[in-house]
Structure formats: structure tokens, C-alpha cells
Structure 1
Amino acid sequence: MKVGLDVGGTKTDAVAVDAAGEIVGRVRLTTGWGTDAVTATVLAAVGALGTDAGVDVAAVRSVGIGIPGQIEPGSGRVVHAVNLGVDELDLVAATQPTLGVPVGVENDVKAAALGAFALHGGSGSMAYLNLGTGIAAGIVSEGSLWRGARGTAGEVGHISVDPNGPLCRCGQRGCIEALAGGGSIAERWGRPGPLPVRDVFDAAEHGDELARVLRGDLARGVAAAVRVLVLTADVDEVVLGGGVTALGDRLMADVRAELAASAEASPFMRSLRLDERVELLPTGSPAAALGAALIGAARGAEGALAHG
């Protein structure tokens, strides 16, 4: 049995996975704020799988954690997880002694990429494009993550595609994230509401001019990210996930239309059939938690090999 946790800014999703790869238990907890509270949330989530989901926690052999922020290669140290109030935290050191099993830690988007790959059949190559407050991708080929030389492979959110576009928090203009990130859209919309991106889509359908611009920018940004991922990594497909994808068919119709329109003038782009190579991760999918479980299991296997 292996456990995986997707530690998000508001909720932590935890799953238990059996030897056959089936999810046999799942719980969701509110994520605490700050270093100590995040650690406590991780421990509580593993315990809740036993008390609330009926999982035999004594059978758990590894725990994997997907979490926002940068993960120092080869370690369990998380830095700059600003949405969690964490500047620096060694999650392995903080949790492994209590859990008593190997613990693996990975960036949440990269964990989700592995999980989405497994849910999608686990063969070929795939890019997982996370559309949330920000935008980033994870690239997987035959079950292995491609991290790049410095771990930044997939950071497509900060590729500028419009030098005259809106200012991005990274300092450039017209980045994919500035066009299509949920945080940027909410800021440019500037009107209160629990789901600003949905409000933008609704208002656009009623003729609001600003909303129409923002909705168009979102499609333009996502389509640009899809093109970048296919043209640079030539993945078989790009799977979209993250909070913005709750828009479902409305989002996909816009993105596919943008991809089709951009291919009209280019036989080469038409030959890539990009609109057929993009799809949506089902809402509520446990991809990130499942991917984290796989990362934890790999850490456990490494430990077993190291100890003979």
C-alpha cells in the first residue's frame, strides 16, 4: 500500500493505492497555514485515511507528497511555497520519523503530470498543463518525468507570446500566465466574486467587452502553451488540469477554436493536428495525489535497494 498527498493552498487531497494500482481510500482536509501547520496537515491526512476511509495504515509502505513551490533536487526540502506560508521546509525530516516509512516530495504540478500519465494508460509521452492561479506544465515520457538541467522544464507560463500584452508578475509582458492564469484574469477583471474566471465567461456571453477580451486572452494563452509543448517536446498529447478547467466544455471549445484558427494559414501547423491532441482531465480527478503516491513508492524502492 502506498499513500499520496496533494497539498494545495486550501485543501489537501490524500489517496491510498493498493499493489494493483487501484485507489482504495480517499480523504480531503483543510490545509493549514505555515510550516508547522502544513506538517500537521500531512500527518493528519495519513491518519484520516485510516479513521475516515477505512485504510489499513499499518500496510502503508511509502508516502509521497506533492506540494507547491520549488523542491531542491534529491531532497525533501520545499522552498518558496508562498501560497502555504512556507519559506523553507524539509518535509521528509518533518514527517518521516512520525510516519515510519520512506517519504518522497515533488512539486505538485510534476506530481500531477505523473498521475495524469498513469490515469491515461501509462504509455507514450504526455504534457500535463496546469491552469490554476498560475500556469506550469509537467512532461512525462514512458513514465519518467523530464525535469531538464535545472528542474525548470515545463515552466511555460513565463514564455512571452505578446510583447505588448499585460504585465506578468515575473516582470515580462504578454507571458502565457499573464494572459491565461487565473490570478492574472481575476486581477484584470477587478470585480469581486468567488469564481472570477467563471464570471468573465458568463459576462462575455452577455456582451461585456472587457470580459470578451479576457476570455479571448485565456484561449490565446492556453493555445500558445499547447503549441510550445508540442513543438518543443513533441508529446503525444497535452492534458489540461487545474482549477480553471472547471469551465469544462466552454474552455475546451475556445481553446480548440484558437488552435484551429492559428493553423489555418500554416500547412505545417495543420499537419500537427493540435486541436486533436489536447484534452481535459476529468473534474475531481486525483491525478496529483496519485502521482505523489508513485513518487513516494519510488523513494521507498530506492531505500530498499540502498539497504540491500
Structure 2
Amino acid sequence: MRIGLDIGGTKTDAVAVDSAGTIVARLRLPTGWGADAVVRTVLEAVRSLGAQVPEFGPIDSVGIGIPGQVEPGSARVVHAVNLGVEELDLAAAVGPALGVPVRVENDVNAAAFGAYALHFPLSVDGQGSGSMAYLNLGTGIAAGIVADGELWRGARGTAGEVGHISIDPNGPLCRCGQHGCIEALAGGGAIAERWARSGALPVRDVFDAAEAGDPRAGELRAGLARGVAAAVRVLVLTADVDAVILGGGITALGSRLMADVSAELAASAEASPFMRSLRLEQRVELLPAGSPAAALGAALIGAALDRGALARG
């Protein structure tokens, strides 16, 4: 049995996966704040899952997807600010207590691998065919790219950082210092900051206000669609992936978001025979609501420890 955890800022999603890659148990629990609490969360999740499905035998591996920067080739996480973690070696912290191999991956890459496994089922030995980009639409914007069953990180680990591609030099200031970045237009954090009105779900409020005729909300909503469509075009034009899967908190908007993005892609296709030939609208899909993709991806990544490299670049 393989365990996978998707550690988020407020909750941790955990799954148990059998040798065929089927999810046999799942649970969610609150994520603790700070390094020590994150370690306790991991241990509690693994032990609870192990107790749920004892008939599947002992746990063979644990994979963890976590926000922040994960140093290549290590389990060391740095700058996971939404978890209150400045630096943490998760394998060293939980491995001795669990007694099994532990692998740690950035949460977007874990979600990308899980989405890939759901979209292009892997063979028994973990191989796959086809390519996919997982575009995470949350507080920020980033993508994970998987081709033929392998994550693509690039030469320095920045493959998929499409959020900081500027598409409008006269656009809003991005936290990275550039103007008009995709993230400055389509990131949930940037939209909430520019909307500047209190609310539990600022992006949803923007959509609602736009539909009620608020011009400022309409501008922000149009910018979101423009940014997401630009990210889709970048991913297809640079990596020529078979599919772009949209995930992350903003995708809870569902058909309202997809309608806007599709309209933006259709407009660019209308103006360009070349863009029409790419059939971008047909290559974009929403990850189903409540999908365990990130935790599943973490489990599969953890299981890959015994079969060598899982990533290129």
C-alpha cells in the first residue's frame, strides 16, 4: 500500500493506493500551523489510513505534496509560508517514525502527476503515453508538465512557472516586479487585492458583481479569462501538450470560468488560422470538483522511489 498526502494551508487530503494504483481509502484532516504541527499532521494521516485498510498489508511508501520550494533531489521544503514553515526536511522528520521511504514534491507537480494518471492511466510499471499540463489557478498561477509518465522540471526547476510571463507591459504590477503578468491578471490573490472588498470568496464575488453590471468587476473578470487563456496558449505553444487540465481553488467557479476562457480562446482563434489549427478549446478541461489528483499524484511519486527517476530536467 502506498500513501499520498496533499498538504494544504488549511487541510490535508490523504489517500491510500493499492499496487494497481486504485484509491482504497481517503481522509481529510486539518493541517497544523508550523513545522512541528505539519509533522504531526503527516504522522496522524498515515497512521489513520493504515488503520482504515489493514487488509491491504503494510505501507510501502509515503509521498507528500506540499506548497513551497522543494530542493531538487531532497525532501527539504523551504519558504512554505502558508504553512508557517521556513525550512523542514520532511523525510528526516517523519521517515524514522514511519519506517518507510518518504518522497516530497511541490504540490503543483504532485497534482500534475495525479491529474495525468487520471487522464492517461499509467501502466503497471508506472509508464505512460501522452502529454499534459496541469494549470493550477489559486492564489497564484503555476503549471506542472508531465510527458510520457514523467514530470518535466526544466534545467533549474522552473518549468511551468507561467504565472510570471508578462502579457501586458502596461498591466497591473505583479509581486515579482513585472507588469501585466498572467498571475497579476488571473491569480486569486491579485484579484482579491485589486477588488479590495471584504468577502470570504473574492473571485466569486467579482463574478457575481460582474453579472450584476459592476464595471470594475467586469474588468477584473475579463482580465482573469485573458490571463488563463494566455497561460493555455503558452503551454500548448511551448510544450505542445495533448491537454491542459485546469485545477485549483478558482476552478470552483466551474462552467462560469470555462465559458469565459473558452470565449477568449475562440476570439484568438477567430483572428488567426494558425491558432484555429491548434484547437485550444478542445484541449482544455476542468479537473472534477473534489478530485484527489494531488494526493494520488503524491502517492504515485512516493511509490516511484523503487523504480528510479520520475522526472526529467
Structure 1-normalised TM-score? Answer: 0.96
SS at match of 2:271: coil
**Alignment match of 1:258 (pick from 254, 264, 288):** 264
Q: Which residue does the alignment assign to 1:3? A: 3
Alignment partner, residue 234 of structure 2 = 228
**Counterpart-to-counterpart distance in 2, 1:2 and 1:301:** 14
Given the alignment of the two structures, is residue 165 of structure 1 paired with residue 164 of structure 2, yes or no? no
2:49 alignment partner, SS class: helix
Give the match for residue 210 of structure 1. Answer: 216
Give the superposition deviation at 1:55.
4.7
1:278 aligned to 2:277?
no
Q: Secondary structure at the match of 2:29?
A: strand
The 4+ residue runs of structure 1 with deviation greater than 2 A are 53-58, 300-303
CA distance in structure 1 between the partners assigned to 2:69 and 2:287 by the alignment: 24
**1:19 shift after superposition:** 1.0
Give the aligned partner of residue 31 of structure 1.
Answer: 31
The CA distance in 2 between the partners of 1:55 and 1:176, in whole Å, is 46
> What are the within-5 Å matches in structure 2 for residues 5-154 of structure 1?
5-51=5-51, 53-55=52-54, 59-122=58-121, 123-154=129-160
* Offset from partner CA, 1:87-131 (integer Å, 9 cap, x none): 111011001000100000000000000000000123300000000
**How many angstroms apart in 1 are the aligned matches of 2:87 and 2:136?**
23
Aligned position for 2:196: 190
Q: Is the 8 A contact 1:103 1:300 kept in 2?
A: no
Counterpart-to-counterpart distance in 1, 2:184 and 2:227: 8
Give the secondary structure class of the aligned counterpart of 1:137.
strand
Residue 149 of structure 1 aligns to which amino acid in structure 2?
A
Q: What secondary structure, in the 3-state scheme, does the structure 1 residue paired with 2:256 have?
A: helix
Residue pair 2:18, 2:56 contacting (<8 A) in 1 also: no
Q: Is the 8 A contact 2:225 2:261 kept in 1?
A: yes
Classify the secondary structure of the residue corresponding to 1:283: coil
* Percent of paired sites with the same residue: 78
The alignment covers a number of residue pairs equal to 302
Q: Which runs of 5 or more structure 1 residues have no equivalent in the other structure?
A: 304-308
- 2 CA distance for matches of 1:201 and 1:181? 14
Amino acid in structure 1 at the alignment position of 2:82: N
Asked whether the 8 Å contact 1:2–1:296 carries over to 2, the reply is yes
TM-score, length basis structure 2: 0.94
* Cα distance in structure 2, aligned partners of 1:146 and 1:277: 19
Cα RMSD (Å): 1.3
Write the letter of the residue equivalent to 2:290.
G
